Amino acid sequence: MSTEKVIAEVARLTAIANEKFAPHIFIVPTVKFSSLGRCVGTAHLDRNALSFNVDLLKVAPEKLITDTVPHEMAHLVHYALRPQDFRKGSRLGHGRYWKMVARMLGLADPTRCAGWADTETCEAAGMKTTKVHKYTCVTCGNTGLAGPRVHAKVQRGKIYLFAKCRHNLTANCYTGATS
Ligand SMILES: [Zn+2]
Ligand SMILES: [Zn+2]
């Protein structure tokens, strides 16, 4: 099960954090899986908890485990070490310190967007969620998800690339399915 792999990866990254940031002690966060709309994952900073999008986990488990899990874990570690960076209105959430932590947790190229066709991680729990549209690559059968903005542009003829296979994502790839 992919959910078990995610839980195992969270535990593994917690162990890495404990090693790299000793003597600070990190407790393995609570992990939840739910339908988060277009959100890939969320870090609940004050509760030491992570939520991951169960629908996205089904279509792209590897990407979620290699990109989103360390991305969100890095927010928890950053918050534990430097809570002052999270004052209201602060824009350090994806700043230099977060990037450093994310790299230490094995994320090669930390960016604000977790790298999905259009979806970004949302940081605040309870952020308004919107529908995602499912696309299948007509060249190789790879699947991808588009948020409403990208979906509308694709339907008007704009061509994007699938994040995974880099083939063209066009209106022909739309499966008609939405979640
Ligand atoms: Zn983030
Ligand atoms: Zn493809």
For residue range 15-24, list pLDDT tens digits in order. Answer: 999 999 988 9
Query: What mean pLDDT comes out for the span 15-35?
Result: 93
28 and 113 assigned to the same domain: yes
- Which ligand is the nearest neighbour of the Cα of 140? 2
- Which ligand is the nearest neighbour of the Cα of 141? 2
138 and 87 assigned to the same domain: no
> What's the gap in Å between 123 CA and the centre of ligand 2?
30
87 and 171 assigned to the same domain: no
Q: From CA 42, how far away is CA 22, in angstroms rounded?
A: 25
Q: Identify which of 151, 141, 139, 154 has the alpha carbon closest to the alpha carbon of residue 178.
A: 151
pLDDT (tens digit per residue) in 93-116: 888 999 999 999 999 888 765 544
Give the residue with greater pLDDT, 52 vs 91.
52
Where among 85, 106, 124 does a domain terminate? Answer: 124
pLDDT (tens digit per residue) in 58-84: 888 888 899 899 999 999 999 999 988
> What's the gap in Å between 140 CA and the centre of ligand 1?
30
70 and 86 assigned to the same domain: yes
Where among 124, 147, 163 does a domain terminate? Answer: 124
> What's the gap in Å between 140 CA and the centre of ligand 2?
4
> What's the gap in Å between 87 CA and the centre of ligand 2?
42
18 and 98 assigned to the same domain: yes
> What's the gap in Å between 153 CA and the centre of ligand 1?
25
The pLDDT of residue 168 is 93
31 and 86 assigned to the same domain: yes
Residue length of the chain: 179
- Which ligand is the nearest neighbour of the Cα of 164? 2
97 and 9 assigned to the same domain: yes
116 and 140 assigned to the same domain: no
> What's the gap in Å between 57 CA and the centre of ligand 2?
19
- Which ligand is the nearest neighbour of the Cα of 143? 2
* Count of structural domains, the chain: 2
52 and 108 assigned to the same domain: yes
37 and 80 assigned to the same domain: yes
26 and 112 assigned to the same domain: yes
CB atoms within 10 A of CB 157: 8
> What's the gap in Å between 60 CA and the centre of ligand 2?
14
Is the pLDDT assigned to residue 118 strictly greater than 70?
A: no
Give the residue with greater pLDDT, 140 vs 111.
140
156, with CB counted inside 10 A (0-12, 13-18, 19+), is exposed
Mean pLDDT of the chain: 84
The pLDDT of residue 38 is 67
Taking the mean position of all CA atoms in its chain, how far away is CA 5?
15
- Which ligand is the nearest neighbour of the Cα of 110? 1
Query: Which residues constitute the domain of residue 85?
Result: 2-124
Query: What mean pLDDT comes out for the span 114-135?
Result: 51
